[in-house]
Amino acid sequence: MSDGQETNQRREPRVSLSAPVRISTIDPERDPGTGRPFFRSSSEVCSNVSRTGLFIQTAEPLEPGRRLLVELTLPGGEDIDAVGRVAWVKKSLAPSSERGVGIELLGATPEELARLQAWIARSTREGRPNASRETRPSGSRSDGKKSGDTSRA
């Protein structure tokens, strides 16, 4: 089974993209100085997605296990809202390497998951490249748009 061939251990197809995503912590943290609870919220970039998870590029990764509200805007302007969990963290010392967090999707409405799955199926048919086990920054999307071009008022 291991003829020197690298196997992809993912359960679902994963598609490369560059899309805006907003992440917000669900469980509060405590400010070390004041002891007051607070929540984190930030706008980041999603570089690949599947029905079961996504990779989010971020300079300030959260620790594994943190639960998040994930608000992803797919190319074309379709919004997907889900609850996720930080499954793993990718830290890098090299400035040119991608840092971020792998998010496991824990819950979304059946409609949200169906829309996400349909977008992934369309992207796969259109030849959008699948990401390998280790994601690399793509620098551009296959449709030529830049991140942020997809938001709608």
Identify any residues that bridge with 152 across adjacent strands, giving them in sequence order: none
Taking the alpha carbons at both ends of the chain, their separation in whole angstroms is 51
pLDDT in tens, 66-98: 999 999 999 989 999 999 999 999 987 666 668
The pLDDT score that the predictor gives to residue 128 is: 63
Q: Is residue 23 part of a domain?
A: no
Q: Is residue 17 part of a domain?
A: no
Say yes or no to pLDDT of 129 above 60. no
Q: Is residue 145 part of a domain?
A: no
Q: What percent of the chain has pLDDT over 70?
A: 73
Q: Is residue 44 part of a domain?
A: yes
Torsion sign over Cα 28, 52, 129, 114: negative
Q: How far is Cα 79 from Cα 77, in angstroms, rounded to an integer?
A: 6
Closest Cα partner for 115 from 123, 104, 127?
A: 123
Q: Where are the alpha helices (DSSP H) in 35-125?
A: 110-125
When divided into structural domains, the chain yields a total of 1
The pair of three-digit structure tokens given for residue 30, joined into one six-digit string:
């405590």
List the CATH number of the domain containing 52.
2.40.10.220
The pair of three-digit structure tokens given for residue 93, joined into one six-digit string:
């010392």
Determine contact, residues 53/104, Cβ cutoff 8 Å.
yes
Q: Is residue 26 part of a domain?
A: no
Residue 124's pLDDT band, with cuts at 50, 70 and 90, is confident
Q: Is residue 140 part of a domain?
A: no
Q: How far is Cα 153 from Cα 3, in angstroms, rounded to an integer?
A: 51
Q: How far is Cα 77 from Cα 92, in angstroms, rounded to an integer?
A: 31
Q: Is residue 10 part of a domain?
A: no
Structural domain of 44: 31-125
Say yes or no to pLDDT of 1 above 80. no
Q: Is residue 38 part of a domain?
A: yes
β strands within the chain, DSSP E: 15-25, 29-30, 37-38, 41-49, 53-57, 67-73, 79-90, 100-107
| Type of residue at 143 | D
